[in-house]
């Protein structure tokens, strides 16, 4: 009798110990059954091995991990955590539509305003937001992107250049300025909401030839960049302009002497300061953090930028 009772006790303890494992396996099976697709997805994961090491992001076919079934969409983002060989999909997020910088599901004048704030350095968009804001597809975020977004919100266009097939050609500074001017003219003759009018006025000030009321240095674009970038600024009076670029350790790598510049906003590619990512000897500089100091008359300001290769 003692042996039988002891055996029952051992079986009971075994079942109690195995129950959590069985529950986890059931949850894993249920979660994996909810996501079945042949589509290509961007998968972000954390891989934990026996030594505690971890992995990073890459692209995989979701069907390789969880099999195949009816597709659930054209694209998306899947977050994974992989423990002891189990692939557990946590969530699927559809990619933001072009122009939806705020990522609220729709393109509005607010998105155009965010682009303008980024252009003049009031805010810094995340890399993901910058990709969404670049509706021209030229790999930079500029006032023209804001103009295209505003045109889209009022129905003057139904798609962005980045959505066209084949892709829209890269814009040179002259063409970009011309398109921006034409967009403003079109918007000027269109019925706008109060918010849209506010964004349009900001656009007009960006391309206006009237001297600004103050001198200012803005954030370079694109940023991060490789290998070239533009540095926008505005000056309230005619002044001799110089930009000096330093490494994070304070070593001078490049001096850009612009000479005497007319008062006005120098914000677009054809008017902003251009840097090709090279030092005074013509050698390409290394990846890393750099500082650029702007000198116009007695005014001086410094900002930072990043080269990623």
Average pLDDT value for residue range 61-89? 39
66: tokens are: 């969880």
Model confidence at 28, pLDDT cuts 50, 70, 90, reads: low
What pLDDT score does 252 carry?
Answer: 97
User: Is the domain of 166 the same as that of 236?
Assistant: no
14 in a structural domain: no
Average pLDDT value for residue range 108-121? 83
Judge contact between 291 and 248, C-beta under 8 A. Answer: yes
User: Is the domain of 170 the same as that of 220?
Assistant: no
149: domain CATH number? 1.10.1330.10
Q: Which of the listed residues 69, 93, 117 is the one where a domain comes to its end?
A: 93
pLDDT of 100 higher than 50? yes
Question: Cα dist. 224→107, 124, 130, 138, 179 in Å?
Answer: 25, 11, 10, 15, 25
User: Is the domain of 253 the same as that of 290?
Assistant: yes
- CA 39 to chain centroid, in Å, comes to 24
100 in a structural domain: no
| Average pLDDT of every residue of the chain | 75
What pLDDT score does 245 carry?
Answer: 97
User: Is the domain of 114 the same as that of 75?
Assistant: no
User: Is the domain of 199 the same as that of 269?
Assistant: no
User: Is the domain of 89 the same as that of 169?
Assistant: no
User: Is the domain of 198 the same as that of 223?
Assistant: no
Spell out the residues 6+ positions from residue 48 whose beta carbon is closer than 8 angstroms to its own: 54, 81, 82, 83
40 in a structural domain: yes
Residue that wins the pLDDT comparison between 131 and 90:
131
Q: Which range in 35-39, 95-99, 209-213, 223-227 is most confidently predicted, on average pLDDT? A: 223-227
User: Is the domain of 179 the same as that of 228?
Assistant: no
Spell out the residues 6+ positions from residue 26 whose beta carbon is closer than 8 angstroms to its own: none
Model confidence at 5, pLDDT cuts 50, 70, 90, reads: low
Backbone angles phi, psi at 282, to 5 degrees: 85, 10
Q: Which of the listed residues 37, 60, 93 is the one where a domain comes to its end?
A: 93
12 in a structural domain: no
What pLDDT score does 287 carry?
Answer: 95
Q: Which of the listed residues 184, 207, 230 is the one where a domain comes to its end?
A: 207
What pLDDT score does 87 carry?
Answer: 46
User: Is the domain of 222 the same as that of 202?
Assistant: no
98 in a structural domain: no
Tally of CB atoms within 10 A around 56: 8
Cα separation, 43 vs 26, in Å, equals 23
What pLDDT score does 248 carry?
Answer: 95
270: domain CATH number? 2.60.40.4070
2 in a structural domain: no
49 in a structural domain: yes
pLDDT of 65 higher than 80? no
Strand partners, 136: none
Q: What is the CA radius of gyration of the chain?
A: 27
231: tokens are: 């540095």
Split into its structural domains, the chain has a count of: 3
Domain, as residue range, for 28: 21-93
244 in a structural domain: yes
Cα separation, 59 vs 75, in Å, equals 12
Long-range contacts of 213-217 (CB under 8 A, 24+ apart): 215/239, 215/296, 215/297, 215/299, 216/301, 217/121, 217/294, 217/301, 217/302, 217/303
User: Is the domain of 196 the same as that of 268?
Assistant: no
């Amino acid at each position: 009798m003692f042996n039988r009772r002891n055996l029952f006790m051992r079986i009971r303890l075994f079942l109690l110990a195995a129950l959590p494992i069985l529950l986890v396996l059931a949850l894993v099976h249920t979660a994996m059954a909810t996501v079945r697709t042949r589509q290509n997805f961007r998968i972000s994961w954390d891989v934990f091995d026996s030594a505690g090491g971890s992995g990073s992001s890459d692209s995989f076919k979701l069907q390789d991990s969880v099999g195949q079934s009816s597709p659930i969409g054209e694209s998306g983002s899947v977050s994974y955590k992989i423990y002891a060989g189990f692939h557990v999909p946590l969530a699927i997020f559809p990619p933001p539509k072009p122009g939806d910088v705020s990522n609220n599901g729709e393109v509005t004048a607010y998105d155009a305003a965010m682009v303008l704030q980024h252009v003049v350095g009031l805010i810094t968009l995340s890399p993901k937001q910058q990709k969404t804001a670049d509706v021209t597809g030229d790999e930079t975020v500029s006032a023209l992107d804001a103009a295209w977004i505003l045109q889209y919100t009022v129905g003057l266009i139904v798609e962005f250049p980045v959505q066209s097939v084949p892709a829209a050609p890269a814009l040179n500074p002259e063409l970009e300025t011309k398109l921006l001017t034409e967009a403003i003219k079109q918007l000027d003759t269109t019925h706008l909401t109060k918010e849209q009018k506010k964004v349009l006025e900001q656009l007009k000030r960006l391309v206006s030839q009237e001297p600004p009321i103050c001198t200012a240095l803005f954030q370079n674009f694109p940023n991060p960049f490789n290998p070239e970038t533009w540095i926008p600024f505005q000056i309230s009076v005619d002044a001799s302009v110089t930009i000096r670029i330093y490494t994070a350790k304070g070593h001078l790598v490049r001096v850009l002497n612009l000479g005497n510049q007319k008062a006005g906003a120098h914000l677009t590619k054809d008017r902003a300061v251009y840097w090709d990512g090279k030092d005074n000897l013509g050698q390409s500089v290394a990846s890393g953090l750099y500082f650029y100091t702007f000198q116009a008359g007695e005014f001086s300001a410094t900002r930072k930028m990043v080269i990623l290769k």
